[in-house]
Amino acid sequence: MQYGFSKTIDLTYEQALEKVTAELKKEGFGVLTTIDVKETLKQKINVDFKKYTILGACNPPIAHKALQTEEELGLLLPCNVIVYEKDGKTRVSIFDPMVMTWIMENDQMKPIATEVQEKLQRVLKAI
């Protein structure tokens, strides 16, 4: 099952993190959480892992509207964006919010998910 959209880019991992964060901001998203998977795995279980960061992005006005429509939606928030190294290149993947509509039985969520999807696809296109 396809549950996100991805792109390999010509930026370093560090540059990609900055660019993704900036492009998310342009679309009204803030980064609520930043999980450095490499560092966390090293600290918690002493294993080495590639550079890999999970960004938890949120657009507050849209999140508010969505939570009013579907109270349990918080289980699927925030929108996750991952930046990681693969085969010497940098890859960015973004969760497709339309996946949420496959899980829920609430047709009112479809236009909200479509709006978020369009914004996140613009982010990916811009990087």
Q: Say if pTM beats, i.e. exceeds, 0.85.
A: yes
Q: So what's the pLDDT on residue 16?
A: 98
- Is residue 119 scored above 70 in pLDDT? yes
The answer on pLDDT for 44 being more than 80 is yes
H/E stretch holding 124 reads helix 109-126
Residues 6+ apart with CB under 8 A from 67: 73, 74
pLDDT at 23 over 80: yes
* Domains, in order of start, for the chain: 4-126 (3.30.310.70)
State residue 2's pLDDT score: 87
**Average of pLDDT values for 63-80?**
95
Mean pLDDT of 10-24: 97
86 CB neighbour count, 10 Å cutoff: 12
